[in-house]
Copies of this chain bind each other. A is one copy, B any other.
Amino acid sequence: MRGRADGPDADAAGPATPAGAVTMQTVARLAGVSAMTVSRALKSDTSVSRQTRDRVLDVVRRVGYVPDATARLFSTRRSGFVAALVPSLNNSNFADTVHGMSEVFDAAGLQMLLGDTEYSLSREEDLIRALLQRRPEAVILTGGAHSEAARKLVAGAGVPIVETWDLPKNPLGDVVGFSNEDAGAAMVRYLYQRGRRRIGFVGGKTHFDTRGTERRAGFRRAARALGLPGDRIVLAGEPPVSMAQGAEALEAMLARWPDVDAIACVSDLSAFGVLAECQRRGIDVPGRIAIAGFGDFEVARCCHPRLTTIAVDCAGIGRRAAQAALGALDARSRNAVREPETARIEFRVVARETA
């Protein structure tokens, strides 16, 4: 029990540490030492006698004392937090990236404060505003597109910034990403190589998903460079484009360009939707239409036929982003100069059965 003393009335707001809760003082009193000694005993400071430490730790166990990280970090003028924003937590690619980050940050004793921008720049700005009030020691953003206000906010926070999943023109700090445009182009070239000449693209409607937009731009550029039509583009809806929207996009694509012989999709989710819809309509894949996705989602590896896609080391992006943040933090603590770096992550076309 945290042993809230039975004070007359509870705090109005439901305090996390109600008056009368066990604090370091309580432990100190019970152990007959000063708070400072408790503090030292807790951090295995060698300058506490074995005897004293044992006595203190015993009390700690008995009363179930849990140190208050907020107070500790506050007094240290640190927050122990890192803020990380992703377009969606309900997306296996970003979930993997978050997982990669948390591995590294956990080991460094930093807590992650997660935000889900829902592919909206204004929501990103709001989240940044809210999260900065927690004084994160570093901020990790997805992509390079941010509102002007958001850029000012994070830049003004004076903490390391890492942008991921993209190669921004004007980075705010470190970058761990890859060129989504190149990825889009690579897929077109792959399809060309496989003999496809009438290639379409299925993507998201708006520019909020800048990565998707860039893949589309890469599609167009590469198609034209190869002398293919680059205008066979179906915008399937707001990002993130779902499987169902992929299915609908097939319909739209066939209505407008019935002779399409390959469809590159902004993600495996929409690609799988296209595939399923082809199966429903009895369209042979890849016989009549080849399909390609992006992201190497689990479904792409498992479905039948297996989806050709582009694989990126999502968790690796997260780990490297976290390491970059730690590197910047470390340089700062050593008062060293450290130029922000851009790490280009590999992507590769994974040839499977649909294209």
Given contacts A298-B269, A302-B247, A303-B276, contact A134 B78 (CB under 8 A): no
- Residue with the highest number of chain B CB atoms closer than 10 Å, among A81, A98, A135: A135
Please report the C-alpha to C-alpha distance between residue A4 and residue B159 in the assembled complex, in whole angstroms.
Answer: 11
**Residue A178 lies at the interface, judged by CB distance under 8 Å to chain B:** no
CA gap between A134 and B71 in the complex, in Å: 9
Chain B residues within an 8 Å CB radius of A272: 299, 302-303
> Cβ of A136 < 8 Å from any Cβ of B?
yes
Which residue on B lies nearest to A333, using beta carbons?
Answer: B14
- Which residues of A from 54 to 80 have beta carbons under 8 Å from B? 64, 66-71, 73-74, 76-79
The reply to whether B66 and A132 form a contact with Cβ atoms under 8 Å apart is yes
User: Cβ of A136 and Cβ of B16 under 8 Å apart?
Assistant: yes
- A84-103 at interface with B (beta carbon < 8 Å): 89-90, 92, 95-96, 98-99, 102
In the complex, chain B residues whose CB is within 8 Å of the CB of A273: 302
How far does the alpha carbon of A10 sit from the alpha carbon of B303 in the complex, in Å?
54
Residues A89 and B98 in contact, CB atoms below 8 Å apart: yes
Contact B66 A298 (CB under 8 A): no
How far apart are the CA atoms of A116 and B74 in the complex, in Å?
A: 26
Q: Which residues of B contact A2 (CB under 8 A)?
A: 156-158
Q: A78 is contacted by which of B14, B74, B98, B132 (Cβ under 8 Å)? A: B14
Are B102 and A116 touching (Cβ within 8 A)? yes
Q: Is A260 an interface residue (CB 8 A)?
A: no
User: A residues engaging B (CB < 8 A)?
Assistant: 1-2, 4, 9-19, 21, 64, 66-71, 73-74, 76-79, 81, 89-90, 92, 95-96, 98-99, 102, 111-114, 116, 129-130, 132-137, 152-153, 155-159, 242-244, 246-247, 269, 272-273, 276-277, 279-280, 298-299, 301-304, 329-330, 332-333, 335
Across chains A and B, which 6 residue pairs bring their CB atoms closest together, nearest first? A16-B135, A90-B95, A69-B133, A243-B302, A16-B79, A15-B77
